[in-house]
Structures are given as C-alpha cells and as structure tokens.
Structure 1
C-alpha cells in the first residue's frame, strides 16, 4: 500500500480513545515518567512496539491501538525502518500528523537492517535517518537505535555519523540494539576520546525466561555507564501472556523453536508463578511479567507489541502495578533456571 493510501486510512475518523472499557481499567493517577539513562528524555514506562504495523496490523487498527495507548498515558513509541519495509514508520507518521500530537511523544526508530540502506556505515545511516524522518513526517527522531553491530565498519565512522545527525538536530539521542557489552564499552571509550555524544540507552532481550544475557553481561555495563535499559521480547514471544499452555497451541514451526522449548518443566514453572500472582492482584499474566521487569534497576520501559486494543490496555497497566516483595521473590525463584 502506498504512503498516500496509508495516510488516507489513518487520517479518517476513528472511535474515541476513551471507551467505557478503558475508563474502567485505567488508573487516573498519572504514572511518573522514567529517565532514559542520563539523557533529557523522560518516558512512560511501557513502550509500544509497532513492528506489526503494516504487516499483520493495518493502518485503521494501528490508529485505534495508538489512541488507546495515549489514553492510558503512553508516550514512548518504538519502530524501525525495516519494519514492514518502512510501512510501520509511515503509519505512525500519518497517525501523529492526523492527531497533531508529535510534541507530546517520544519516538524511537532503528536503522541498519532495511533493504534500502543496510548497515551502519556513515552514508547508510545518514540516508536511512532522512528517509525515516520523511515517513514519520517529523523533523527529529528522539531516540535512534543502531539496529545492527557491523564489525566490518569502523565504530568511529558510525559514531561520527550519528554525532553529526545529533548536532544537526535530526536526532536527539542514540542507543544500541543487538550489541554485546564489549561494544558498549568500545563506544563509550571512542565517544569520550573523540568528543562525540555518548550513548543514552541499550535494547536487548530480557524477561522472566530470558535473564542471562542482561544480568550476566549487560547489567553491570548499563549501571557503570548510566545507560537506560529498554528490554525487548519482554513477553518471550507471547509465552508470558499465557497464550501457549501445551504443544497443541503451537504451530509446527513454533514447536521446533524457542516457544516449543519453553513449554518444558522450567518454563511452565515460571508461567505457573506468573499465573498465581496474576490471580492475587486480578491482572493479566502479561501485566505481571512486565511489572516484574519494571521492578529491576535501570529498566526504563519494556518494548511490547500488540495486535489489538485490549492487549494494549493489559500491557500499559503494568506501569501502575506494584508487586509485593513476596511476589517478586516468588517470580525470581521460579525463573532462576533462566538466570
């Protein structure tokens, strides 16, 4: 679908965002924003991932989900130039233009994986950012992620290109995704030596069933450098929503992949602990899994994807949930095999 077709779809009239359902579940008390590392960015502690926009979610449904996200206080949006070949950015840009709410949002996008501008060389990054700005219909990206770690490109070249974009006002802050701890250290050293803007945040997998990479490698570096940590895959491919309870719930491909492995004894022990806490506080399992993440030091906002409005409400509810010490301990203990 062309950009103009998306624009016509999302700019049309949509149902009012404050539905009766939303009014009954949304806490009217504002959720305090969280800082993104040492940067000036402040965000709602749940980021809405838009990777399904333009793929399995059309522009009209995306608009309803975005309206619901805003109605619950959400302001942190996560996209990428490679999501649906840029259609995710276009849908988001058209919605912001129609709602005239760009200045009240924090928009994060990623570059490095698109078919048109692959890699993180200076020319690719610069071209990708300007194309993202056009699709997003904005003059700046609040948080730019490097979507790949390319060892064939000198890190100094990448950092210089990003710094020039920041100095020019096209980008406010930058972050890393898919980068090991050693590369974060290299980036900090290079930025300090060359006088570049330092990195503000890092994105990596982290959940109750995926703790090892962050807790054993990244956590100490995030803390030492004052980075904000933005967990991705916080629901482990919807496993922690409780959607998958047996192998019969999976597609043949999923049975051979990560979801199939999670349906073993240790994964089901975690899901049982999540279910127990969810029953105690009358919340969805996904809400509990995200609330556990939000209790961890340096976590800014998990990036969660949704395909329907009711899912958005369950996800953003985590920002208002405070789990007890006992509940957190039980979830920690159940997920220890994944630590």
Structure 2
C-alpha cells in the first residue's frame, strides 16, 4: 500500500482500469473482476466519464455506472479508492468551471457516491484560463465532493504552470499525473513527465500498462486472437524487437511462476516516479494474470534485461 501525496488516501500498488466495464465486459463479468480484485487486496479503481462513449449505442458513463452499481451492491465504499475524469466526454468537453461542476455531479450520480477520491483533468484545455479550471477543482474539494485532483495527458510545461498557479492562488493542486507509459513506450514519459513528477513530488499512475495487451504475451506472430484491441497490437508485433522482448518476458515469467503480464507490470511499478500502474481485465482469468504485480519484485538485472530487450 502507498499513500497519495498530501492526503490520507491509501492505495494498492496496482490500479484496476475500468475502461472495459460496460463495454467489452458486461456487468456480471465486471462485478466478478471487481470482487476478485478486492479479495486480492486491490483497493484502487480507475475510470472516466468518457468510458465508453466510442462504442456503438453508448453515450459515455457506462463504466462509472457499472462501478456505481457494484459499490452499492457490495457496500464498503470507504475501502475502495475511486478515480474518475472530466474533459473528454463529448457532451461534457473541456475544463471550464461550468463543465467541471456539471460533470462532477453526473459522475457522482453514476458512481452512487457522495465523493470522488481522485478527480482528473482527463486532458488539458488551453482555451480555459488555468485559474478557472483550478478554481473549479478547488471548489469541489472544499465542498467535500472530491478528495484530491490530478492531471492526465498534460505537457510538462502546462503541468508545471498549473502547479505554480495553484501555489500562487492558494488553490488545491494536482497531486498526481496519469500518462502513457509502459515497457515499449518509454521515451515521452521518461523525458517529459518523470522529471516533473520527481521534482514536484507527484504520484504517477501510467495507463496502457500492458500496451493494449501486447505485453500479456498472448499475441504472437502467426497467431489469431479475437480482441477489440488487435489493431493496436499489430504495430508492436511488426516491430523487429518484439520476439526478443517476448522471449525475455517468457523467461522471467517462468522464473517467477507468474504470467508475462505480471512481469511487465512489475517492471513498470518499479520504475522511478511510478506509484501504481493501471491495467484492466475483462475476466477473472485475465485478472489472475496481473494480480501478482501487486507484490512481485524484480531484481536489478531483470529490470535491465527487459529494458534492453526493447532498445
């Protein structure tokens, strides 16, 4: 367990991504995954109001609704850390004060709770003054509707500027960042975001921790897997480094008696500035492959071998 900077919010070392809930995982399967995650000691669940508006017939908020139904049916709201986001839902786009206030109320209703543990700006909105955006988040925190706020997909310059405005104006400041970072997508985060996170003491919760499923090892050249993310994985499989990395993942997975996915997430969890990686699971079987990442500790030479395999 770790604590969110500047708060009393305790988090598990692995965050369960909720993007699949209500989309590729129906409510029954989602409940089973959430139950198994909680039973294994997982406490941190991530979602967004925009999930899964892209699916045919969806309008957004489907994931929040499933999580809300689960929270209501299981009880124990105080044992679950819920993160959600605002800015990307087409019907609640951007970070104006009015949009943030309305979107927060909608998320609270769908989640069937009276507070959000961690509320993200899902993306930057340069059209709105930072003072307005941060003032709106500050108002939610002061009202007890949000415990902490964070930024996702911000440039390092805008992230620093946001923190400076918060300090200058005495507003609630971002305590965490969420960005694209994994074993095969490293340069942007390590060059741009990691220095800010280290310098400012921000928690970091990387998304796409399993590279759309490539790092699970289930996708191999010459194999066919039915998946909504197959098109994203194809680019990794076509890379000449893929066989080498998959071989190292296989070797380390066998050495630790875990699935390759757990090794990839353990690598990510052990990177400087990373607090907890985010990974999703459609089924309990998929979840079982990633759960060992909660505690798996790789040796320095193993961490180096994985990095070198995709260099």
Deviation at 1:247, TM superposition (A): 5.6
- TM, length-normalised to structure 2: 0.93
Q: 1:37 to 1:252 in 2, by over 3 A?
A: closer
**Of 42, 48, 69, which residue of structure 2 is paired with 1:74?**
42
- Greater Cα offset, 254-263 or 270-279: 254-263
Counterparts of 1:185 and 1:159, CA distance in 2:
13
Q: Does the CA contact (< 8 Å) of 2:214 and 2:233 recur in 1? A: no
Determine if the alignment matches structure 1 residue 153 to structure 2 residue 128.
Answer: yes
Determine if the alignment matches structure 1 residue 185 to structure 2 residue 153.
Answer: no
Determine if the alignment matches structure 1 residue 240 to structure 2 residue 215.
Answer: yes
Q: Does the CA contact (< 8 Å) of 1:209 and 1:270 recur in 2? A: no
Deviation at 1:116, TM superposition (A): 2.2
SS of 1:151's partner is coil
Deviation at 1:177, TM superposition (A): 0.8
SS of 1:169's partner is coil
Q: Does the CA contact (< 8 Å) of 1:177 and 1:202 recur in 2? A: yes
> 1:12 aligns to what?
none
> 1:206 aligns to what?
181
**Of 46, 58, 61, which residue of structure 2 is paired with 1:86?**
61
- Greater Cα offset, 325-334 or 221-230: 325-334
- TM, length-normalised to structure 1: 0.86
Determine if the alignment matches structure 1 residue 44 to structure 2 residue 19.
Answer: no
**Of 158, 172, 177, which residue of structure 2 is paired with 1:197?**
172
**Of 293, 304, 307, which residue of structure 2 is paired with 1:332?**
307
Counterparts of 2:281 and 2:184, CA distance in 1:
19
Counterparts of 1:177 and 1:253, CA distance in 2:
24
Counterparts of 2:304 and 2:17, CA distance in 1:
28
When the two structures are aligned, how many residues end up with a matched partner? 304
Determine if the alignment matches structure 1 residue 226 to structure 2 residue 194.
Answer: no
> 2:101 aligns to what?
126
Deviation at 1:87, TM superposition (A): 1.4
